[in-house]
Every structure is written in C-alpha cells, then in structure tokens.
Chain A
Amino acid sequence: MTVQPTSVQATRVDLLLLAEMVDPGSRVLDVGCGDGALLRILAETRDVDGRGIELSQSGVNQCVARGLSVVQGDADTDLVNYPDDAFDFAILSQTIQATHRPLEVLDQLLRIGKRAIVSFPNFGHWKIRRQLMFRGRMPVTENLSYAWYDTPNIHFCTIKDFIVLCRDLDAKVERSIALNAQGQRMGLGIPLFMQNLFGEQAIFLLSR
C-alpha cells in the first residue's frame, strides 16, 4: 500500500483539520470510525498507530478489509473495557450526538486518552435556529438531513453547551475550532457567540 495524496485531497476538510491536532506517530483510538476515512488520513499524514470502534458491522468489515484495526463496538458500552491512558488521543468525530449518554462517553474518552478530540455539528447555527423559529419544525439541513423520527442524532448540542459539558467534567479545552458552512476554519478571535451562531461544526482538543 502506498500513500495516495489524491485520496487525502478529496476528503473532507473537517477531517484534515482534526488530523492536524494529532501529534505524528501517536497512538490513536477513533470512536465511531465509520468507513475508516479519518483513520486512513491519520495513517497517511500523521503516521499514527490507529485503532477504531464502529457500531455498524458493515463499516467494520470495510475497515478491516482495508487493513485498518477496527472492532465492532458501541461507544456507550464498550469504552469501559480500555485501560486508563491507553491512547495518546481518543477521538470522537461527529459521533457524540449519536450516543445515548454523551457525558459518560466523554468522561470515558478523557480517561482512556491522554487527550481527547471531539468534533460535532453545532445545533446553535443560525440556519437551524431560523428553521425552528420561523417554521416551527425540527430543523433538517444539508448536513443534518434526517427527519426527527429516524435520526441517529439523539443528543444535539451547541458549541456553548459543549463548553459547559467540558467544565462539568473538569476537562481543559486546549484548542477549539469552529468551521463555517464551507468546512473552513473561522478566523481567530471571533467571539464565542459569533462562533455559536455561524459555526456549522466545531472541533475541540481536550485534556484532563
């Protein structure tokens, strides 16, 4: 297998930004790794020793067939099996909103990783607020395209909510990035309320 830069270029910007937070050569656990897109970027660009957990069996089988170390498992129940500080980075990419117990999951993440990286869709984005405000309906957007009754995303939060959760868990926010609708990093020094209004997703680097 050779490094294929083209495959990286074609991937989502948010994953690349997330990957930048990972130190090269570190041990990484990607919780909810899907088809392994992030793990592959991390392997190709950061030379990590990467592992994954994925709920869907088809996702797992695809990952393993591509040579990634992935187990079938549930973020809500299976993180307890890992020892403390087992990884340099424990990552929860676009997954926390689909967990049953986000607080416990984040708590476990901070336990098994020396640092944790969490990315999530920001439910405080103005388009979402507008839909709820003017249509009086549960928001359905391009990025969050499910109807309320069949969405896997059962625990949405805003950037502000997430910061409160971190405080409750004594997690230190080492870095945070808000991404705009184009998936690009919003400029530094933008006040939090603006990030919470215009950020479509956020990435947090945490430690405890």
Chain B
Amino acid sequence: MVEVKDKPSVDTNGRRQEQMLTPDSLVMSYGEDEPLALDCGVDLAQYSIAYQTYGTLNADKSNAVIVCHALTGDQHVANVHPVTGKPGWWETMVGPGKPIDTNRFFVICANHIGGCLGSTGPSSVNPGTGRAYGLDFPVITIRDMVRAQAHLVDRLGIKDLFCVVGGSMGGMQVLEWAATYKDRVFAAIPIATAARHSSQNIAFHEVGRQAVMADPDWRGGRYIDEGTQPRKGLAVARMAAHITYLSDEALHRKFGRNLQDRDRVTFGFDADFQVESYLRHQGYTFVDRFDANSYLYMTRAMDYFDLAADHGGDLAEAFKGTETRFCCVSFTSDWLFPTEEMRTVVQALNAVAANVSFVEIETDKGHDAFLLDEPELFDAVSGFLSAAAQKRGLEPNDHEI
C-alpha cells in the first residue's frame, strides 16, 4: 500500500526549496531598468528566469527551438531532475537523435514566470518587503510567460526561433507566440491544447484552487512566512487534476476495480481501491516538488487564456498574415483538450490560408498522451521538423547523412 504522507519528504522538499532559490539551471536576471510589463498592468521589476539549454546554437542563430512546459512542468526537459532524481519530463521527445534532435537544434526551455523552480514567482522574495510575495505577486497570463521568453531569447541574441513547441499549457504558449511574435516563429507545434480554456476546465481549476485555499496551512497565501505548507489542499488539487489528465479507458485498463493489497473492501475510508491509492500517491509526491501558490497562479493563467477574445473575438484575426508553419496535434481520448478545440485552431489557420498540418492520434491514454511513448506523435513531429528545417536551410546533422 502506498504510504499516505502528510509530512514533507525532507529530501525532496528541501531540494525543491533549494532549487527555488539557487536553481541548477542557467539564470537570466533583469534589473529594475528592464521590467516585465504584465497584462494586469503591473511592471514586474527585478525578475529572473531559470532555463536549460541543450545542443548548440549555430553560427547564424537559426536553429533555436523553445520548448514550453505545461502547468506543473519545469525547465528540466531532458536532464535528470534536480529535485526528484527522475529523467527529464520530455526525454522521449528531446535529445540526441530524438524527434526534437539536439544534435541539430538548440533547445531552450524556461521555467515560466510565476513558477517555482528558479524563475520569479509567488514564493520569491518581494524586494519591496523582504518577504515572500505570496498573493502580492501579480497575476500572470500566458502572454506574460511568452513575453518573458521573448526577452530571454533577445538576451541570448536570437532574432527568430526555428520552432516553438509545447503541450497543454505549453501549447497555449505556442499559439500565443505565433500570434504575438509572428515574424519570430518559423514553425510552431501546439499539442493537446486549445485557443481558450473551456468553462469545464476553468471549473476543474477552481476546485483545485479552493482545495488549496481551504487548507488551514495555506494561511491566506503566507505559508512561507509562517513556516507551514498546505500539503493536504495541494494534494487534493493534484488528485482532482490528475483524473482529468487520464481517460476513463486508461484508468480502467490500469486499475479496473482492483483492490489495493487486500481481498475485500474494508468498510472504511482507507484506500481500498488501487485507483485511490494511485491518486493519493500522485497527490503527495506532487506537493514535494511544487509550490502551492505557484499552482494558483499557473492555473489562473490558463483560465484567462482566450486568444480569440484578445483579437476582437475572431481567432483567425490572431493568425492573420502568419507565415509560420504549424503542426497541430490532438489525441482521441483527451477530454481536457478534445480534438474539437484543436480543430477550431486549424479552421482559423485555414481561414488565413496558413501552412498547417493537423494530426489526431488514436490513443486511450487521455491528455497525458503527449508526455508518453506515442510513436505516431514522434513520427509527426520529426517529419514536420525535418521538412521545416529543410525549408529553413538548416543542414542535416551527421546522423542523417
């Protein structure tokens, strides 16, 4: 049976807090003279972005790829994670000889502004008060995250990107990049995402946030100052969210109604079923690697995302004049970001005669499929990127010759 831990794992939790302050990543810092102008109207002065890079930037700086991470992801795409010790979250996709081939491309992944693994966020110290921001941190939008990435790219001396790629919340950023920085994105791969967060998705996020805020240890968001941590609330939020990442079929295939280390139900509220035990495990391991307030801010950013609304209610207007090549990917069993949402994006792209590919992949793995071993996903991404690289005049790497 999975141990229900309501005490922090000292190692993981300690490492996380260490990574928050002094990340094992590259860090780009911006002073008071170059604030980040946020959608909420606040200029965020003195902020930092923690990021990882893989591969080598070529001489004419034309092979840069930005990978945008999802809600609870981070910059450690393709290296051992400094907190959990697990492989990078997209090592199946990014690396030498992988679809996003680091022998060929220079891959950048930044921890989002508002995140909790080295980039400035609600758990960072507010220079104005000397204490953690907590809820004084300004609300961040998807466009703010993209803006921060654009500043990072500027600092790295890269004019335009070969590709921007990401799934889920990362996919929202891909769409935002393509809409806001049209002439800086040669190719875009939005995966398992949508041009707006649906009412149902906002509803799920609200459940998660309320769970965090209902935890007495949340302390109105001041838990860092008070030396507590809303572990139970955040774990429940993660449990609820995790259900939305899987499909009914996948849950049934994995667990069915199987009992956890017992022959019969206990007529109590212990984790009788394997699926309960699994969810508890997901919840309690999550809280060791993620900050509760960051979770509130990240989910809010997704809720606020509505690309059409930002362009007079017409999604096609967002992409008007685009010369970016798009490869849109959805999964049949993803009910969080169903194919219909992606089809809306594709229709908008068709309405401006954009260069677009659209692949729907048959799988029962639900929304999480974009992170898993899906050969058709890899084939689509590598086929699309090879053709795009050829158009861009990027030389094939040694492995291809």
Task: Please give the residue numbers on chain A whose beta carbons come within 8 Å of chain B beta carbons, in ascending order.
Answer: 1, 27, 49, 51, 57, 60-61, 63-73, 78, 81-83, 86-87
Contact = CB atoms under 8 A, between A and B. Distances in A.
B333 to A, nearest CB: 14
A77 to B, nearest CB: 10
Contacts of A72: 358-360
B125 interface: no
Contacts of B359: 57, 60-61, 64, 72
Interface string B76-99: 000000000000000000000000
Contact of A81 (B350, B362, B383, B388): B350
A89 to B, nearest CB: 13
A64 B384 contact: yes
Nearest to B385: A67
B21 interface: no
Interface in B367-395: 376, 379-380, 382-384, 386-388, 390
Given A82-B351, A82-B353, A71 B325 contact: no
Nearest to B355: A69
B320 to A, nearest CB: 10
B241 interface: no
Contacts of B390: 1, 67
Given A1-B390, A65-B379, A65-B380, A83 B360 contact: no
A35 to B, nearest CB: 13
A81 B354 CA distance: 11
Contact of A61 (B346, B361, B387, B388): B361
Contacts of B357: 60, 63-64, 68-71
Given A64-B384, A81-B347, 8 more contacts: A49-B355, A60-B357, A61-B376, A65-B379, A68-B357, A69-B355, A71-B357, A82-B353
Nearest to A27: B353
A interface: dominant SS: mixed
Interface of B: 325, 327-328, 346-347, 350-353, 355-362, 376, 379-380, 382-384, 386-388, 390
A63 B361 CA distance: 13
Contacts of B386: 1, 67
A66 B383 contact: yes
Contacts of B384: 64, 67
25 contacts: A1-B386, A60-B357, A60-B359, A61-B359, A61-B376, A61-B379, A63-B357, A64-B384, A65-B376, A65-B379, A65-B383, A67-B388, A68-B357, A69-B356, A70-B357, A71-B328, A71-B356, A72-B359, A78-B347, A81-B350, A82-B351, A82-B353, A83-B351, A83-B353, A86-B353
Those 10 A-B pairs whose CB atoms lie nearest each other, nearest first: A67-B387, A86-B353, A65-B383, A71-B358, A65-B379, A81-B350, A64-B357, A64-B380, A81-B347, A67-B383
Nearest to B386: A67
A32 B179 CA distance: 29
A72 B390 CA distance: 24
Contacts, number: 72
Contacts of B358: 60, 70-73
A61 to B, nearest CB: 5
Contacts of B347: 78, 81
A65 B379 CA distance: 5
A78 to B, nearest CB: 7
A82 B350 contact: yes
A63 B383 CA distance: 9
B269 to A, nearest CB: 44
A26 B379 CA distance: 27
Contacts of B327: 64
Nearest to B325: A69
A83 B390 CA distance: 28
A66 B362 CA distance: 18
Contacts of B350: 71, 78, 81-82
Contacts of B382: 65
A67 B355 CA distance: 12
Nearest to A79: B350
Given A78-B350, A81-B350, A81-B351, A64 B360 contact: no
B186 to A, nearest CB: 14
A71 B353 contact: no
Contacts of A64: 327, 357, 359, 379-380, 383-384
Contact of A57 (B356, B360, B379, B383): B360
A139 to B, nearest CB: 35
A95 to B, nearest CB: 18
Nearest to B390: A1
Nearest to B326: A69
Contacts of A82: 350-351, 353
From A63, A70, A72, name the one whose CB has the most chain B CB atoms within 10 angstroms.
A72
Given A1-B390, A60-B358, A72-B359, A83 B380 contact: no
A64 B381 CA distance: 8
A15 to B, nearest CB: 20
Contacts of A78: 347, 350
